[in-house]
Structure 1
Amino acid sequence: MNTETATRSETTAPASERTHSYAAPAIEPVLELNGRPLERSDEILTPEALQFILELHHRFARARHERLADRQRRSFEIGNGRDPKFRDDTKHIREDSSWKVAPPAPGLEDRRVEITGPTDPKMTINAMNSGARVWLADQEDATSPTWENVIGGQLSLYDAIRGQLEYTSAEGKQYRVTAERTPTIVMRPRGWHMVEKNMRFTDSNGQSCAASGSLVDFGLYVFHNAKQLIENGQGPYFYLAKIESSEEAKLWDDVFTFTESYLGLERGTIRATVLIETIPAAFEMEEILYVLRDHMAGLNAGRWDYIFSIIKYYRGRGARFVLPDRSEVTMSVPFMRAYTELLVKTAHKRGAHAIGGMSAFIPNRRDPEVTRRAEEKVRADKQREANDGFDGTWVAHPDLIPVAQSVFDATLGERPNQVDRQRDDVEVTAEQLLDVRIGRAITEAGVRENVSIGVRYIESWIRGIGAAAIDNLMEDAATAEISRSQIWQWIHQDQSTDSGVRITREWVAGILAETIAGFDRFEGDRYDDAAELFTEVALGEAFPTFLTLPAYTKHLVDL
């Protein structure tokens, strides 16, 4: 893989002579493009787009590193007994009843059913034809960030927004967008922690680092599509993942404000829905709404990452913070009820949408009984959300849209949302948010399920597939994180199963070996690599903050 160097003044050269590094005059920062050329990648990686990516890094890379350092400090403090709390220094924001977020942007007034999924051409077309009100176009947990997926996803979105996306499968089946009404696109870039190693940024002090996955995903999408989206009657809208504080949200707000100025957009054109999927963020929901108020669209209850966050932050805090089998940590357990009810109350208090999360159950068109059970569980889940005051919800499969929509249609009727429903009956304390006592057991079946799902998902992710149907559940990076982090915590907190078997590293390693031996192998599978990585992130002494970080470095980058 070759890396060439050029200054900004050279970017007007013919495409055949153009090189792949861009430097702004006088300040000397450089963005190097190391990724190999792909079909049509020059349509996305234009000199002008790369210059914009460079400008984003020049202005915001340092602040991003500072926010990530804050995370490390916060993790150390919680791990050593200092629980998160509602902040004293921002109490004035919470007590000021006068402020509201911006009114809904075009295409975001009615969000009763949102479909989620990766951005490859087939899934993009399926989402656009799905009948959902909104599509979460996911470059994050449902996408394995291979270079092909990063650039290919941008191309899919570019074509879909311009009504020119078509796809023919290897079997010759043709896909095209046929729906009269397509969903509003809300794109989810990678979280602040993820890097894009196919680009490298060197600042004016000569300090070099991999580019930010967040800024690359956001920057390429907004640069190419903002004005076309506005012309289409909507706008550049984003889901923001893994936010842990109002300072992290403020960084995004600064990025949005700069981008609007750079691209000549009116302030507030860019809108964001923030996933509340970390325990620190649950204590700062009003502050997050406040700092993003001119760009705010809503809050989303990111349930799977939220459970993972609880485990991650409290993994070393003793047996009372140990959760039982993954299947027992439902939305009805007390700490999850407290979190979701607080989210609805907080969002509606400030005029923002509250969007529910995704039930992992999915239908199986070849098995009517599996489909019946999935629809039953999803219907109950969505009924709970609608009753609690959520304005919309997520589904992961087009066949579940009628189920979810029937529930929200019955609740909303002709209203686009129920933001005017205030949850004054809800009072949630810090103790309730942190009360993870469930009273259920860890079983050997639960251990084996975590190992099996964790390894199979990692194997899929290494091969470039970020959303995988496993045992009739839709698994993504967040659910895999729960599986591996529970194993790690159970081992390090000296837990035993309900049958009295002590959960040790050696015992789980034996289960892992049995699991791998039982798989049907196929040419090109990555089970051996997946088992090695699972051993590192679940059975190792250290706890990687995200399994995707070592997985990305070891298996997706060829530099």
Structure 2
Amino acid sequence: MSIPVLKIHTQLTSDQAFILSPPALNFLVALHRAFEPTRQALLAARKTRQAELDNGGTLTFLPETKHIRDEASWRGAKPAPGLQDRRVEITGPPERKMVVNALNSGAKTFMADFEDSTSPTFSNLVNGQVNLRDAIRRQIDFELGGKLYALVQNPAVLLVRPRGWHLDEPRVTYEGSPLSGSLFDFGLYFFHNAEELVKRGAGPYFYLPKMEHHLEARLWNDVFNFSQDYIRIPRGTIRGTVLIETIPAVFQMEEIIYELREHSAGLNCGRWDYIFSFIKKFRTNSKFVLPDRSSVTMTVPFMQAYVNLLIQTCHKRGVAAMGGMSATLPIKNDKVANDQAMAKVYEDKLREVKAGHDGTWIAHPATVQIALDVFNEYMPGPNQYYNYRADVKVKPEELINPQVPGTITLGGVRANVSAALAYCGAWVSGNGCVPIANMMEDAATAEIARMQLWHWVHHKATTEDGQVITAELVGKIIDEEGEKVPGVKADQVGIAKDYLKSQVNAKLASEFLTSDLMAKL
């Protein structure tokens, strides 16, 4: 199927053809023509900032936007219908069974994720759009293996996470250039569902990932206004919650809310990507070599400063401060181990609600009730916007404090290799949400593993017993762990092995594995 100068480089089913209808494609073209130059300029600015950091630069609050931070009167948007109480949000890919189970889970909201937990095969992306369209219209019920999957009367409120600004959609091109993955995901969902959502008493709500600058939030705001005008619905109907999951963004949180203020639904502590960004942005600085991934918890100094500042910032501006992901999965056939795992979920959510968060993320329906119980006990109202955290006084150096208790162990090296191989192998096979060692791993956790391996090799880090971590040592472990990857075909494991070896041997680790591996899907 094509319209002038726009081409789709794959075959479509009838449902997919409906999603990619000529009117929808015209909307995508309009978005592309209006915003692609700005997107490319912002991506170029990212490279410039990274080069500055690679050459010894640092990060701090922007002096040119001090007036925004100092102005006390402005606020973000009031909560939209269904978003005043977000105490538990479940997340997952927009796969049909997942959509039904998540909407029925008892969580307040469901974030359908086209980004880190979705392997972006074209069928995954477009079928995901079909599934969300059907769910919104209560037409998603289906039978599988003799079991009926049907929506309950009052399902969770739906939010959608499109891909980040850095990702392209190469299967759809305009004048030979790929569309933005962000605008492809956003545009199709908005075009087909915005008016229907409003009729049903909600609206088009989004999670916005991977931003590194408030001008990237301004771009989203411009996209929102353009899109609302395009289908003639009022400006301010859209809401966007921004994931603060890059270290540059934490220094611009007020500016990000300000840019989106008519559409802002708050900020979220995207904890795993934030750790990845912390390492990546200071990749050439040996002071930022961190210990085993398991040591980098939410209570280490730089993570605690980040959380406290995010909550204070959101409540100062009257928007939601959402907590991070608990990726823990229930453990079958081992009550003791399962009880211990669920206790960790409880402790994580207790820390969040006491810190002042207005809600939290979980990855599995079995943990919904645990999170609900914690927030119901400690947050009797719909949110904690009243908790201004006046005690918080975060200095720039606290946000980039690399001091983390712990050591690097050979077991930690092996765990990173194992997780990265298993995830990358699954990702290229079309699965972006992978249970590994009783944790639900997505691209963010795989990115921590990849970046730590490169960082340790590049800076000649040593394990606790004095062994230097070399590319040869990691390569040997990659070969060993490559023999143990469950549920992934040998050729896909081979792709993952070759990729990981290329990364640990690279002069500079690349930006995103999802960009690197796109051609291998």
SS of the equivalent of 1:107 reads coil
Task: Tell me if 1:417 matches 2:406.
Answer: no
Q: Which runs of 5+ in 1 are unaligned?
A: 1-18, 23-29, 203-207
SS of the equivalent of 1:509 reads helix
Distance in 2 between the 1:326 and 1:231 partners? 46
Q: Does the Cα contact within 8 Å between 1:131 and 1:181 map onto a contact in 2?
A: no
Q: Which runs of 5+ in 2 are unaligned?
A: none
**Partner residue of 2:362?**
395
List per-residue Cα deviations over 1:328-387 (Å, max 9, x = no partner). Answer: 000000000000000000000000100000122211233323321221001101001000
Pairing partner for 1:225 from 193, 204, 213: 193
Task: Report the Cα offset of residue 523 of structure 1.
Answer: 5.5
Task: Tell me if 1:182 matches 2:149.
Answer: no
**Partner residue of 2:348?**
381
Cα 1:428–1:175 change in 2 (3 A) is farther
Pairing partner for 1:83 from 58, 66, 76: 58
Pairing partner for 1:533 from 499, 513, 516: 499
**Partner residue of 1:12?**
none
Task: Tell me if 1:346 matches 2:321.
Answer: no
Task: Tell me if 1:307 matches 2:280.
Answer: no
Task: Tell me if 1:450 matches 2:416.
Answer: yes
Q: Does the Cα contact within 8 Å between 1:487 and 1:539 map onto a contact in 2?
A: no
Task: Tell me if 1:287 matches 2:260.
Answer: no
Number of residues paired by the alignment? Answer: 521
Pairing partner for 1:108 from 83, 96, 100: 83
**Partner residue of 1:48?**
23
Pairing partner for 2:511 from 512, 526, 545: 545
Task: Report the Cα offset of residue 539 of structure 1.
Answer: 3.4
SS of the equivalent of 1:126 reads helix
Pairing partner for 2:230 from 262, 280, 286: 262
List per-residue Cα deviations over 1:34-81 (Å, max 9, x = no partner). Answer: 122135111100000000000000000000001100100110111112
Distance in 2 between the 1:229 and 1:200 partners? 29
SS of the equivalent of 2:386 reads coil
Task: Tell me if 1:483 matches 2:449.
Answer: yes
Question: TM-score with structure 2 length normalisation?
Answer: 0.98
SS of the equivalent of 1:499 reads coil
Distance in 1 between the 2:313 and 2:94 partners? 31
List per-residue Cα deviations over 1:284-343 (Å, max 9, x = no partner). Answer: 00000001000000100000000000110111112x211000000000000000000000
**Partner residue of 2:437?**
471
Pairing partner for 1:159 from 118, 134, 144: 134
Task: Report the Cα offset of residue 521 of structure 1.
Answer: 6.8
List per-residue Cα deviations over 1:461-511 (Å, max 9, x = no partner). Answer: 111111111000110000000001000000000111001111000011001
Distance in 1 between the 2:475 and 2:142 partners? 43
**Partner residue of 2:240?**
272
SS of the equivalent of 1:400 reads helix
**Partner residue of 1:515?**
481
The aligned amino acid for 1:159 is: D
Q: Does the Cα contact within 8 Å between 1:32 and 1:201 map onto a contact in 2?
A: yes
List per-residue Cα deviations over 1:382-401 (Å, max 9, x = no partner). Answer: 00100010000000000000
Distance in 2 between the 1:366 and 1:546 partners? 37
SS of the equivalent of 2:324 reads strand
Q: Does the Cα contact within 8 Å between 1:273 and 1:296 map onto a contact in 2?
A: yes
Distance in 1 between the 2:434 and 2:459 partners? 30
Distance in 2 between the 1:177 and 1:420 partners? 38
Question: TM-score with structure 1 length normalisation?
Answer: 0.91
Q: Does the Cα contact within 8 Å between 2:225 and 2:235 map onto a contact in 1?
A: yes
**Partner residue of 2:334?**
367
Distance in 1 between the 2:482 and 2:235 partners? 53
The aligned amino acid for 2:360 is: T
Distance in 1 between the 2:412 and 2:393 partners? 34
Cα 1:523–1:258 change in 2 (3 A) is closer
The aligned amino acid for 1:20 is: S
Distance in 2 between the 1:173 and 1:195 partners? 39
Q: Does the Cα contact within 8 Å between 1:166 and 1:174 map onto a contact in 2?
A: no
The aligned amino acid for 2:400 is: L
**Partner residue of 1:429?**
395
**Partner residue of 2:219?**
251
Pairing partner for 1:95 from 70, 88, 92: 70
Task: Report the Cα offset of residue 542 of structure 1.
Answer: 3.4
Cα 1:378–1:36 change in 2 (3 A) is same
**Partner residue of 1:199?**
172
SS of the equivalent of 2:64 reads coil
Pairing partner for 1:117 from 92, 95, 104: 92
SS of the equivalent of 2:12 reads coil
The aligned amino acid for 1:83 is: T
Q: Does the Cα contact within 8 Å between 1:348 and 1:419 map onto a contact in 2?
A: yes
Task: Report the Cα offset of residue 538 of structure 1.
Answer: 3.4
Cα 1:551–1:175 change in 2 (3 A) is farther
Distance in 1 between the 2:488 and 2:278 partners? 36
Pairing partner for 1:356 from 323, 337, 346: 323
Distance in 2 between the 1:33 and 1:68 partners? 24
Cα 1:213–1:523 change in 2 (3 A) is closer
Q: Does the Cα contact within 8 Å between 1:537 and 1:547 map onto a contact in 2?
A: no
Distance in 1 between the 2:308 and 2:379 partners? 18
**Partner residue of 1:333?**
300
**Partner residue of 2:35?**
60
**Partner residue of 1:20?**
2
List per-residue Cα deviations over 1:90-148 (Å, max 9, x = no partner). Answer: 00000000100110000101000000000010111111110110101100000000001
SS of the equivalent of 2:173 reads strand
Q: Does the Cα contact within 8 Å between 1:21 and 1:33 map onto a contact in 2?
A: no
Q: Does the Cα contact within 8 Å between 2:425 and 2:488 map onto a contact in 1?
A: no
Q: Does the Cα contact within 8 Å between 1:370 and 1:472 map onto a contact in 2?
A: no
Distance in 2 between the 1:134 and 1:525 partners? 38
% identical aligned pairs? 47
Task: Report the Cα offset of residue 154 of structure 1.
Answer: 0.3
SS of the equivalent of 2:517 reads helix
Distance in 1 between the 2:310 and 2:238 partners? 22
Which stretch has the larger CA shift, 486-495 or 519-528?
Answer: 519-528
CA RMSD in angstroms comes to 1.3
SS of the equivalent of 1:495 reads coil
Which stretch has the larger CA shift, 400-409 or 31-40?
Answer: 31-40
Q: Does the Cα contact within 8 Å between 1:128 and 1:177 map onto a contact in 2?
A: no
Distance in 2 between the 1:473 and 1:198 partners? 32
Cα 1:525–1:383 change in 2 (3 A) is farther
List per-residue Cα deviations over 1:167-193 (Å, max 9, x = no partner). Answer: 344xx2434224222111110000001
Distance in 2 between the 1:282 and 1:233 partners? 33
Task: Report the Cα offset of residue 524 of structure 1.
Answer: 6.8
SS of the equivalent of 1:234 reads coil
Which stretch has the larger CA shift, 81-90 or 35-44?
Answer: 35-44
Distance in 1 between the 2:294 and 2:57 partners? 29
